[in-house]
Amino acid sequence: MKPLQTITDPVFVQKQHYDRLDRFFLNLIRDERDLPFIHLTLKITITLIPLAILLYMPFVTGWVWWLIALAYAYFNNIVFKGPFGLMLHCTSHRVLFNKNVGWLNNYLPWVIAPFFGHSPETYYTHHIGMHHAENNLEEDESSTMPYQRDSLKDFGLYFGQFLFTGVYHLCMYFFRKKRKRLLYRSVRGEILFILFCIALSFVNWLATLWVFIIPFLLYRLIAMMGNWAQHAFIDPADPGNAYKNSITCINTKYNHKCWNDGYHISHHERQTMHWTEHPKHFLQTLDRYVSNKAIVFDGIHFLHVYFWLMRKRYDLLARHFVNIGNQYGSDEEVMRFLKSRTQKLSFAEPGFAPA
């Protein structure tokens, strides 16, 4: 266990002076605190996209092609994938550009996102239209509840269902809810991405595999690993309570790289809270974390949680568990508590009481 320590995660610091380029973009965006999103978008635009285009050029062959392909894979999967994915997450909840240039809000989901394996707008429809609306409960098509959440076999079932039937189930959800606009956006984005990849495969199948298809598979795997970890520990008596079905990870480099994404409890509690506000809000609402026996980890992020669960290393999880309110006397007690929250839950169980 760890005591609650000083929070080192990023918060907004007002700049006294901006350069000319920053001042130009500040006139276009809705919130000054989102200027780092512009910087990231520009970096991706001038590095990743040109590398992708080069892979389709007929004059690029042999070892030069593979050198560019490796550079593309490095920038895509190591440098930019996490920051871009969570930038898309933040801008799905809070629109980036103001109304005067609202058309620019299409640039991330329609132009850049496909390079990272996102079919246009399906992230928005799944995450905003369904996941937050259902909060990991029965009608959430990505709910972790009916799975044993420290089981690799169960995760394989979970991921397989999402990969092969996820869009179908998402569309059926919107059909049941009579949310035609979100249904249309889901179908349109997924079909156009598939057709786009098929068409480009006739141009250069290897480049299409490297530029779009592999990132697509990796993104969906990592997304499900993240969601699994974020909702791995659930109170069977109160599964609709964000403090009891989500976790928070503090004081981790991941929060600096991925816009405080570790604050998943407060994100579900207030989904439009700006990413820079979460550390302060966490400290201001500690009493809620204590009263709900919320699970908070220090110094690790969601992939640590995922891999340690798959290895059943509850000892490592307990070592990074924050003992808020001094409610636990030992790591062994924490381990028992964590294990009790990863058990498979049936939606039909008598104890299932959505909040």
Question: Where in the chain are the domains?
Answer: 10-116, 117-232, 242-340
**CA dihedral defined by 184, 189, 190, 192, rounded to 10 degrees?**
110
Q: Which residues have a Cβ under 8 Å from the Cβ of 230 and sit 6 or more positions away?
A: 246, 247, 264, 302
Is residue 213 within 8 Å of 205, Cβ to Cβ? no
Is residue 162 within 8 Å of 144, Cβ to Cβ? no
List the chain pLDDT tens, one digit each, 355 residues. 999 999 999 999 998 899 999 999 999 999 999 999 999 999 999 999 999 999 999 999 999 999 999 999 999 999 999 999 999 999 999 999 999 999 999 999 999 999 999 999 999 999 999 999 999 999 999 999 999 999 999 999 999 999 999 999 999 999 999 999 999 999 999 999 999 999 999 999 999 999 999 999 999 999 999 999 999 999 999 999 999 999 999 999 999 999 999 999 999 999 999 999 999 999 999 999 999 999 999 999 999 999 999 999 999 999 999 999 999 999 999 999 999 999 999 875 444 433 3
Is residue 344 within 8 Å of 352, Cβ to Cβ? no
Is residue 117 within 8 Å of 212, Cβ to Cβ? yes
Is residue 186 within 8 Å of 174, Cβ to Cβ? yes
Give the separation between CA 190 and CA 168, rounded to whole angstroms. Answer: 10
DSSP E strands, the chain? 247-250, 295-298
Is residue 96 within 8 Å of 124, Cβ to Cβ? no
Burial of 219 (0-12, 13-18, 19+ CB in 10 A): buried
- Pairing label, strands 295-298, 247-250: parallel
Residue 165, φ and ψ in degrees, nearest 5 = -130, 5
Q: Which of 82, 51, 46, 64 is nearest to 210 (CA)?
A: 51
Give the separation between CA 302 and CA 16, rounded to whole angstroms. Answer: 35
Q: Which residues have a Cβ under 8 Å from the Cβ of 51 and sit 6 or more positions away?
A: 68, 71, 72, 75
- The DSSP symbol for 297 reads E
Give the separation between CA 188 and CA 96, rounded to whole angstroms. Answer: 23
pTM of the model: 0.95
Give the separation between CA 278 and CA 267, rounded to whole angstroms. Answer: 8
